[in-house]
Chain A
Amino acid sequence: MMRIFHSLLLLVGVVVITFIMVRLLPGDPIRAAMQQNVDLSDKNIVEEVRARYGLDRPVHVQFYIWLTDFIKGDWGTSLTSGDKVTSMFWRRLPVTLELFVLATFWAWLLGIPLGIISALKRNSWLDFFITGGSVVGIAIPVFWEAIILIYIFAVILKIMPPSGYAPFFDDPLKNLHCVLMPTFVMGTHAAGSLARYIRSSLLEVLGQDFIRTARAKGLQERMVLFRHAAKPAMIPVVTIVGMSWAGILGGAFIIELMFALPGLGRMGLDAIFSRDFPIIQAMLVVVSLNVLVANLATDIAYGYLDPRIRVQK
């Protein structure tokens, strides 16, 4: 209960911070938005538009109005396209959600088995190879990895599309073909840190007394690993899974641009460049809400994996 209360408090703080951050954006956003088609020399028009967006009122009043509207589900209107932010958001959400799910899938598919293998074959050449690979996976910037993959698979081998997107329900095969590379790139960073953490936490657990006891009473190695070692070794790993979500979301910004995917990251990036502040604000709140929920889920998983934490509260 304390955790939920704490998270709510954080959410309020985050909402205030995003509001301040977005208001810091230089240049009157209305002016910037109107530059293209409205005569700015006419003071009356400028004032009228400012009043329509509520920009003429004091900041705390603006905040109150924005917050109540936001909770009601009215996230404002895009300054550049004039569309409702909520409808833009729902239209683009499936793309990013798909990327996100598949990237997490890649991260687990690569990270978990590799981490376990390198812990079990400790100090072998295989371990050395995996450990080195995970450091590279962590250090390599997503855009550089994407360029390498595009060059190899799209330019030279021509077996992957360099960019583009098709909705899943229109053409499932083409859709998967298109998102294969981007999601792999998004997932490798998380996979690298996952493999590293699993390796070290599993090694630590395997060195403990109860594992020796389990082995001493003649259990098969597989039983020792999955029945006794797996659960305690998962505890630090859960933290990494929770934390990597934020990183995957951040990566979506770059990846969606490079692979021309019409997702939320692309929308956010465009909004940052065009100072479309209702979109930026909504995006920041949604992203932070997402991470907050992930953190909460991490805590709940902790309690499940380690009864001691549950008792302490």
Chain B
Amino acid sequence: MTEKTKSQEFEPRRKSTVGFKAVMRSLFRQKLSVIAMMIIVLLFSLAVFAPLIAPYPPDEPDFYYVLKGPSAKHWLGTDDLGRDLLSRVIYGARISMTVGMACTIFSLMLGTFLGLLAGFRGGLTDQFIMRLVDMIMIFPGLIFVLVLAAALGPGMINIIIAITLFGWVGVARLVRGQVFAVREMPFVEAAKAMGASQWRMMFKHVFPNCIAPLIVAAALGLGGAVGMETGAAFLGIGVQPPTPSWGRELRTGFTYLNTMPLFSIAPGVLITSAILSFVLLGDGLRDALDPRLRGMGRRR
């Protein structure tokens, strides 16, 4: 028996380094990503099960407890109208998470579609779409969203539209770049030679190559969208009272910072932990999805 066959025989079966499982394994190896995922799951369950978790309805005033500190009855105290702060913060997760999810999904859909279109059609279509992208990218995100949301009027749907109209541009640019990277590759050429239609080539052959960067963009985009929404709400644009939202709570809390810091701290901690978790998850996903970095434990 030669050396070679021996090693082949006794080498333990290697775990696969590609595919969904490998990515998840790599992701779970990073402690920070796991913590981030746990926080995200927690925040989403707060949003979904708010009526079950919250001790009081979010807009029920208790006139004997106005701006009172923590007590056995109200764990985080009460706000300026005597409403239970804990309940309002729990319900506030609904707005931020819904807006974040909706904006990310719509941005991804719009951006992917227009990016694929620009990359594939080329010529005038490409010029038109990419110049539009350039123009929107010129504006600072928050200013663009504020003006647009003010133009559209108050309400959750309008803030979603405003953030989406800003969010799609990054996605479109990413997808278009990816299309250019794989467009001339043999497998696309083969598909073309076999008579695949343009739409089929776009979605069956080129789009799968965009998924990895898009997943990362989705996680980072969620963080960005939550940041925009809370920022706009903090300035008084977007969801209107009495609907509880983190940004608004923080704004009201800010006016009572001297007397009741917990009023600011509760929503502030939640906002920051949400954004931070999405950013960390995005970072972790980027490392996990890049096979060159996989299994190295630490980044670079």
Contacts and interface: CB of A to CB of B under 8 A. Distances in A.
A284 interface: yes
Contacts of A21: 147-148, 151
B271 interface: yes
B134 A141 contact: no
Contacts of B298: 123
Interface string B270-296: 011001101110010000000000000
Contacts of B140: 246-247, 249-250, 287, 291
A61 interface: no
B264 interface: yes
Contact of A141 (B132, B139, B231, B257): B231
Nearest to A204: B300
Contacts of B146: 253, 269, 272
B77 interface: no
Contact of B147 (A141, A247, A272, A295): A272
Contact of A13 (B135, B236, B299): B135
B87 interface: no
Interface in A95-149: 122-123, 131, 135-136, 138-144, 147-148
A24 B151 contact: yes
Nearest to B236: A273
Contacts of A150: 257
B150 interface: yes
Nearest to B139: A288
A249 B146 CA distance: 13
A135 B143 contact: no
- Measured as residues with beta carbon below 8 angstroms from the partner, the interface class of chain B is 35 or more
Interface string B106-147: 000000000000000000000000011011101111110011
A287 B139 contact: yes
Contacts of B151: 21-22, 24-26
A291 B144 CA distance: 13
B268 interface: yes
B207 interface: no
B223 interface: yes
Contacts of A141: 227, 230-231, 234, 271-272, 275
Contacts of B150: 25, 272-273, 275
B235 interface: yes
A258 B250 CA distance: 12
Contact of B272 (A123, A144, A155, A288): A144
A214 interface: no
A250 B141 contact: yes
B261 interface: yes
Given A25-B150, A288-B138, A148 B275 contact: no
B28 interface: no
A306 to B, nearest CB: 20
A91 B279 CA distance: 39
A139 B223 contact: yes
Given A13-B135, A155-B258, A288-B138, A22 B147 contact: yes
22 contacts: A10-B134, A17-B135, A17-B136, A24-B151, A25-B150, A25-B151, A131-B299, A135-B283, A139-B280, A141-B234, A141-B272, A147-B250, A147-B253, A150-B257, A155-B261, A247-B140, A253-B143, A253-B146, A268-B143, A273-B150, A288-B139, A292-B138
Interface of B: 131-132, 134-136, 138-143, 146-148, 150-153, 223, 227, 230-231, 234-237, 250, 253-254, 257-258, 261, 264, 268, 271-272, 275-276, 278-280, 283, 298-300
What 9 pairs across the A-B complex have the smallest Cβ distances? A250-B140, A250-B142, A139-B276, A24-B151, A246-B140, A144-B268, A139-B279, A288-B138, A139-B275
Interface of A: 9-10, 13-14, 17, 21-22, 24-26, 122-123, 131, 135-136, 138-144, 147-148, 150-151, 155, 200, 203, 246-247, 249-251, 253-254, 257-258, 268-269, 272-273, 275, 280, 283-284, 287-288, 291-292, 295
